[in-house]
Amino acid sequence: MSGPVSGAARPDAHTLIRTVLDPGSWKSWDEPVVDPAPPESPYAEELAAVRARTSYDESVVTGEGLLAGRRVAVMACEFSFLAGSIGVAAAERLVRAVERATAEGLPLLAAPASGGTRMQEGAIAFVQMIKISAAVSAHRAAGLPYIVYLRHPTTGGVFASWGSLGHVTAAEPGALIGFLGPRVFEALHGYPFPPDVQVAENLYEHGLVDAVVSAEHAREVAIRALAVMCAPRDAARLRERGETPARGPEPEERAADVDAWEAISRSRRDDRPGVKALLKLGASHVTPLNGTGAGENDPGLLLALAMFGRAPAVVLGHDRRRVTGRHLGPAGLRVARRGMHLASELGLPLVTVVDTPGAALSKAAEEGGLAGEIARCLADLVMLDAPTVCLLLGEGAGGAALALLPADRVLCAQHAWLSPLPPEGASAILYRTIDFAPEIAKVQGVRAADLRRTGVADRVIPEFPDAAYEEKEFCERVAATLEYEILGLMESPAEDRLTTRLARYRHLGTPG
């Protein structure tokens, strides 16, 4: 693991802004500072000295610029100014910028680097965290994207407020990022803080940040993420611009009628394309997100922002090939719920991808709240105000599969299936042996054709003859179908979608 970036290497706020924004596009929003320091106090002298030494009037700069031609608001700390610490004047500047970004409907980029609350101002500075968090929350509640780039070093009340509220969060390689500064910890406790904890790469390991990237790369991350987060949601507008889907879905009559056990066997092939292949071969502008953002991760659940043709989406899906044992734990479902929340807040369509042999069955999974997480996924997803499409892509065993199912539209690949537990398990329950799995699978109605007949699925996506033999064509076919379905859903108002969705699940198995 690399150590913290050196002080000498720290770009100042304006250098960072120049690196990230389009050349020459920066416009400051900053107004003259009203100092809270009593004139001629030691603090006023300190402020005067630091202003004379740096070209900054406060520890933060705010303004707007263009990012690949898109107007964005920016707020950044200047560490050379009292360690980028936040007092009343700095907080006021930040809050005004966030409020202006909200009023003008602009995405907001934040680049903190700070020692936290300004010690010279004490308690009144400390409580500024509240107003900054409130302003950022209002900006997010308006459905506007908030992207954070944590620079070296980010600590204290900055990390614990606007530094940790991003929809997408990246961090500078090697940056010291932590709550209590290590120097302070050592002085308080008499021994050093453990090494390699408060460092960007460790935060990534723990699902606290989405990426560890240089400033140049952070520009690319923000451009890609904003392309999805700011994509037009209005189907009528897309139509006006002539942006209707290039290609409709493949007629499902072309899907061969397959035996249940054959479908299950094919779905389990190691070379069957999964959600990763779908994103690589069928999507564009893919921004992988990492973990819950709250300290948990599960490699079995992939979360990303992506475009399917002209349709923007939050994509979350079982990534079974990345995990030994390939089973999903409660943390994975919490990652999924992060994706649902993101879609809801940004009004982005959500695509869920089901491809799991089942949930993890272990002490850790039980104690981590597996059943509760399945329940909360079901509840969150079925009530989500964003348009939702579920893709049954391969295996669909048990609650971990069901947790991602209840969408507005359910698409099912020809060899995908859905079952309360793997057919071997059903056989063990009924016959105390796994030997009758093929027969059980047949009678349980688990196949794509069965799910279509019973109304669980809306559309079968054919395979010619098996996705594993035509990975690219299959992924493009699936992506085109997703685009078609998402754009279709974007046509109807959220209330209508929810009413239709709830009626659909209310009547499954009991039509009429």
Ligand X SMILES: CC(C)(COP(=O)(O)OP(=O)(O)OC[C@H]1O[C@@H](n2cnc3c(N)ncnc32)[C@H](O)[C@@H]1OP(=O)(O)O)[C@@H](O)C(=O)NCCC(=O)NCCSC(=O)CC(=O)O
Which residues contact ligand X (rule: CB under 6 A)?
A: 7, 82-83, 85, 115-119, 126, 153, 155-157, 160, 176, 180-181, 183-184
Closest approach of Cβ 180 to ligand X, in Å? 5
Residue with tokens 């003259």: 32
- Looking at this protein, which amino acid is placed at residue 188? L
Closest approach of Cβ 191 to ligand X, in Å? 16
Spatial separation of the C-alpha atoms in residues 307 and 227, rounded to whole Å: 9
- Among residues 85 and 169, whose Cβ is nearest to ligand X? 85
Distances (CA, A) of 257 to 391, 422, 478: 19, 21, 19
- Among residues 153 and 339, whose Cβ is nearest to ligand X? 153
**How is the chain split among helix, strand and coil, in percent rounded to 5?**
45, 20, 40
- Among residues 152 and 337, whose Cβ is nearest to ligand X? 152
- Among residues 118 and 219, whose Cβ is nearest to ligand X? 118
Closest approach of Cβ 47 to ligand X, in Å? 11
| 264 burial type by CB count under 10 A (0-12 exposed, 13-18 middle, 19+ buried) | buried
Closest approach of Cβ 157 to ligand X, in Å? 3
Q: Which two tokens stand for residue 317?
A: 């899906």
- Please report which residue ranges of 358-463 form alpha helices under DSSP H: 363-367, 370-383, 398-402, 423-431, 437-443, 448-453
Closest approach of Cβ 449 to ligand X, in Å? 58
Closest approach of Cβ 128 to ligand X, in Å? 10
- Among residues 116 and 291, whose Cβ is nearest to ligand X? 116
Whole-number CA gyration radius for the chain:
25
Closest approach of Cβ 126 to ligand X, in Å? 6
Instruction: State the CB neighbour count (10 A cutoff) for residue 408.
Output: 23
Closest approach of Cβ 174 to ligand X, in Å? 13
- Among residues 155 and 356, whose Cβ is nearest to ligand X? 155
- Among residues 83 and 456, whose Cβ is nearest to ligand X? 83
74-288-357 Cα angle (round to 5)? 150
Return the sign of the alpha-carbon dihedral for residues 478, 480, 483, 487. negative
DSSP 8-70: GGPPPHHHHHHHHSPTT--EE-PPPP---SPTTSHHHHHHHHHHHHSS-SSSEEEEEEEETTE
- Among residues 78 and 355, whose Cβ is nearest to ligand X? 78
- Among residues 82 and 343, whose Cβ is nearest to ligand X? 82
Residue nearest to ligand X (CB): 181
Closest approach of Cβ 125 to ligand X, in Å? 8
In sequence order, the 6+-apart residues with CB closer than 8 A to the CB of 14 are: 26, 61
How would you write 140-193 as a 3-class SS string?
Answer: HHCCCCEEEEECCCECHHHHCCHHHCCCEEEECCCCEECCCCHHHHHHHHCCCC
Spatial separation of the C-alpha atoms in residues 151 and 26, rounded to whole Å: 20
